[in-house]
Amino acid sequence: MTKNDKNLLKQMIEAGRFSYQMYELLIAQNEANSKAMIKRMGNKWVCHPDNRVKRLETPLGQITKGSRVLSQTKCF
C-alpha cells in the first residue's frame, strides 16, 4: 500500500465512506506492518524466543529471615 493509498483511505473514512472491504484491507495492512516491524526488531522484540523466561532445573529454596543469602547482602 502506497502513501497515496493510505491518504485516500483516510479521506474516505473521514468522509463516512467506510465499507467492510476497507476494514479487511486495513486489517491485512496492519498485520503486514506488524510482521515487518517484528522482523526489523529481531531479538529486541519482547516475545522473541531469546527473551523467554529461563527457568532453573531445580527451584531455589525459600528465603527466610535466617537465610544465608540475606545475611550476605549489605544495605547502604
Tens of pLDDT along the chain (76 residues) come to: 788 988 888 898 899 888 898 899 999 999 999 999 999 999 998 888 888 888 878 777 776 666 666 565 555 5
Q: Are 26 and 20 in contact (CB under 8 A)?
A: no
Residue 29: give the domain boundaries: 1-51
Domain count, the chain: 1
Q: Is 28 inside a domain boundary? A: yes
Q: Is 76 inside a domain boundary? A: no
Q: Is 43 inside a domain boundary? A: yes
Q: Is 19 inside a domain boundary? A: yes
Q: Is 72 inside a domain boundary? A: no
For 4, 24, 48, 67, 69, the CA distances from 57, given in Å and listed in that order, are 55, 46, 22, 21, 20
pLDDT at position 6 is: 85
Q: Is 5 inside a domain boundary? A: yes
Nearest Cα neighbor of 10 from 36, 25, 37 is: 25
**Global pTM value:** 0.57
Q: Is 33 inside a domain boundary? A: yes
pLDDT at position 34 is: 94
pLDDT at position 39 is: 95
Here the cell at position 75 is 544495605
